[in-house]
Amino acid sequence: MEALDLLNCAVDTPFDRDRCLRFLDAPRSCVLEMKVKKFSVAEQGHAAEAPKRGKSLNTK
C-alpha cells in the first residue's frame, strides 16, 4: 500500500515533494529491515501469481 501511495503522490498535481518523501520512508524502512538487495518486475504472464517470498516486488 505504501508503494501505491508513493506512486500516486508522484503523479499528483500540484506535486508535493515533501509529502512524497514521507511516503518513501515506509517502504525504505521495510527493505532495510528485510535486507532486500534487488527488486524485479514479473513478466506479464506471471504478474497475477502470488510471490513465493516477501522479498520481491512484482508489478505489471
pLDDT the model gives residue 44: 73
pLDDT 10s digits, 1-60: 888 999 999 999 999 999 999 999 988 888 999 999 998 888 876 544 545 555 445 444
CB 19 within 8 A of CB 9: yes
Residue type, 29: S
pLDDT the model gives residue 57: 52
pLDDT the model gives residue 47: 47
Classified as helix, coil or strand, 27 is: helix
How far, in Å, are 10, 35, 38 from residue 23 at the CA level? 10, 19, 20
Tell me the pTM. Answer: 0.54
Q: Which position has the grid cell 509529502? A: 19
